[in-house]
A and B are shown apart, each in its own frame.
Chain A
Amino acid sequence: QLQLQESGPGLVKPSETLSLICTVSGGSISSSSYYWGWIRQPPGKGLEWIGSIYYSGSTFYNPSLKSRVTISVDTSKNQFSLKLSSVTAADTAVYYCARDNYYDNCGSDYWGQGTLVTVSS
């Protein structure tokens, strides 16, 4: 059974860089059909897609966040990561990682449990 697990600091100071890692277990991040994505959800609000990465390193980013986001992949560790720079209180959210069956257009079928990141001094 595929599992995804987010990890990283739960508290980040304003203007600093938020860094999260998603560890994939029970399957390979190098599978050919899938992109691996980050989605966030501010408290009490809806889902916002941040970006996605293929195992080769090809990325898609949300245009509204693109200038601050970097997503990378480490196939040797079966992990992918998110960096969001110059954070403000508006970046406080639960951050999810997910597998997107992009090439078969079958949606995001596996999600991590999510991790709350609070931006505060």
Chain B
Amino acid sequence: SYELTQPLSVSVALGQTARITCGGNNIGRKNVHWYQQKPGQAPVLVIYRDSNRPSGIPERFSGSNSGNTATLTISRAQAGDESDYYCQVWDSSTAVFGGGTKLTVL
């Protein structure tokens, strides 16, 4: 079965750039979606199909995907960005989530 690997935690200074990675075998050949989840809330889609932002998501959120790694980049990090982030792909008619990364804004 396909697996996605994310770091458990990432820290970023207020106003700096955070990068959260999602590793998978040839993930660059797949479409990667990213979700933000705050405590006690449902996940929110922040990036779809590698690098596209849904309506209402700030331009500070961007994504890339190549080779074996997809990356969610959050520029000018704000305190409100502190959340759990999950990557997700479809593989052989199965949806797969990464284990999630806790982003801490210092």
CB within 8 Å of B: which residues of A? Answer: 37, 39, 46-49, 52, 60, 62-63, 96, 100-102, 105-109, 111-114
The answer to whether A113 and B94 have CB atoms under 8 Å apart is no
Given A49-B94, A49-B95, A60-B93, answer yes or no on A105-B49 (Cβ-Cβ < 8 Å).
Answer: yes
Beta-carbon contact of A63 and B54 below 8 Å: no
* Closest A residue, CB atoms, query B32: A107
B73-106 contacts to A, CB under 8 A, are 84, 86, 88, 90, 93-100
Candidates B45, B47, B52, B95; contact of A60 at CB < 8 Å = B95
Contact residue among A63, A108, A114 (Cβ-Cβ distance under 8 Å from B94):
A63
Question: A-contacting residues of B (Cβ < 8 Å)?
Answer: 1, 31, 33, 35, 37, 42-45, 47-49, 52, 54, 84, 86, 88, 90, 93-100
Question: In the complex, what residues of A have CB within 8 A of residue B96's CB?
Answer: 49
By a CB distance below 8 angstroms, the chain A residues around B43 are 47, 96, 108, 111
User: A47-B43, A47-B100 are contacts. A52–B95 as well, Cβ < 8 Å?
Assistant: yes
Known: A46-B99, A46-B100, A47-B86. A107 touches B45 (CB 8 A): yes
Closest to A46 in B: B100
**Chain B residue at minimum C-beta to C-beta distance from A64:** B1
Residues of chain B lying within 8 A (CB to CB) of residue A114: 42
Most buried by B among A96, A100, A105, A109: A105
**B31 engages A105 (CB within 8 Å):** yes
Cα distance A79–B25 in the bound complex, in angstroms: 36
Instruction: Name A37's closest neighbour in chain B (CB-CB).
Output: B95
- Shortest CB-to-CB span from B75 to chain A, Å, is 21
Query: Within the complex, what minimum Cβ distance (angstroms) separates A85 from chain B?
Result: 20
Closest B-chain residue to A48, C-beta based? Answer: B97
B48 touches A105 (CB 8 A): yes
- Out of B45, B94, B100, name the residue touching A109 (CB < 8 Å): B45
Q: List A contacts of B52 (CB < 8 A).
A: 106
